Amino acid sequence: MRVDVVSIFPEYFAPLELSLIGRARANGVLQLGVHDLRTWTHDVHRTVDDTPYGGGPGMVMRPEPWGEALDALTPAEAPPPRLLVPSPAGAPFTQAMAYELAAEPHLLFACGRYEGIDQRVLEHAATRMPVTEVSLGDYVLFGGEVAVLVILEAVTRLLPGVLGNAGSLDEESHAHGLLEAPIYTKPPSWRGHDVPEVLRSGDHGKIARWRREEGLLRTAARRPDLLDALPADQLDKRDIAA
């Protein structure tokens, strides 16, 4: 997978050299390009923003530098990338979207700052490539950079060979639309708290059932909205009542 990121703060992405994403880059699973939007400015002050039409607080990112940046990063001879624009007004980012993005050959992230990017940038980009505004949740950050770091980590860990034990993807929260069950390790008893006996029984069928039931109970208690989103054939509400 190729990923390009455009930002006025490219140094935000230095952490991507570390840990699993660093290894994914080293072994070629991920090719990452980080680009400074000011590369595509032509004035002495390298201006990327201006005042909003219609008035209002703050500044808006000018369309011209973005237009040239997206042109430069979407070569005509290659299939167009999927453009992702973090925004509080975007579609919710979910594990399902992470899986969808992990299947894309080329992602292009546009990190907005100030009050955001002139809307015409997204409108024009949509004539050349798929464009998705994506939100991490109902809160506002200073800009899109932190959101890109989150999305990139959620997507990269799904790429083949990145996680040592791919099996762990199957059991984690949101893998099947539910929260994961509680997990334990040695010692069997710690400060008067014991590991549930079933997990030490060696009965794998019983353990699997316990984990599903615990995941359902946790989901019902903490995220009932996820239960409502489950396909009917995946959940018999009696599982929880039992």
Ligand X SMILES: Nc1ccc2ncsc2c1
Residues that bind ligand X (CB under 6 A): 86-88, 112-113, 116, 140-141, 143-144, 147
Nearer to ligand X, 143 or 215 (CB): 143
Tokens of 19: 């840990």
Q: Which is nearer to ligand X, 109 or 210 (CB)?
A: 109
| Least spacing, CB of residue 92 vs ligand X, in Å | 12
**Type of residue at 143:** G
Query: Nearer to ligand X by C-beta: 24 or 136?
Result: 136
Q: Looking at beta carbons, which residue is closest to ligand X?
A: 112
Q: What is the DSSP string of 136-202?
A: SSSS--SSSHHHHHHHHHHHHTTSTTTSS-TTHHHHSTTSSSSPPPP---S-SEETTEEPPGGGGS-
Considering beta carbons, is residue 15 or 161 the nearer one to ligand X?
15
Name which of 100, 91, 81 is nearest 158 in CA terms: 100
- C-beta closer to ligand X: residue 7 or 156: 7
Taking the complex as a whole, how short is the minimal distance between the CB of residue 49 and ligand X, in angstroms? 12
Least distance to ligand X, CB of residue 158, Å: 21
In three-state secondary structure terms, 53 is coil
State the angle between helix axes of 145-156 and 95-102 in degrees (0 to 180), rounded to the nearest 10: 70
d(CA 50, CA 69): 18
Give the nearer residue to ligand X in terms of CB position, either 155 or 179.
155
CB of 87 to ligand X, least distance (A): 5
Min dist CB 89 to ligand X, Å, is 9
How far, in Å, are 88, 109, 122, 197, 211 from residue 200 at the CA level?
45, 46, 54, 5, 13
The β-bridge partners of 107 are 3, 82
| Smallest gap from residue 109 Cβ to ligand X (A) | 11
Do residues 125 and 71 touch, judged by C-beta distance below 8 A? no
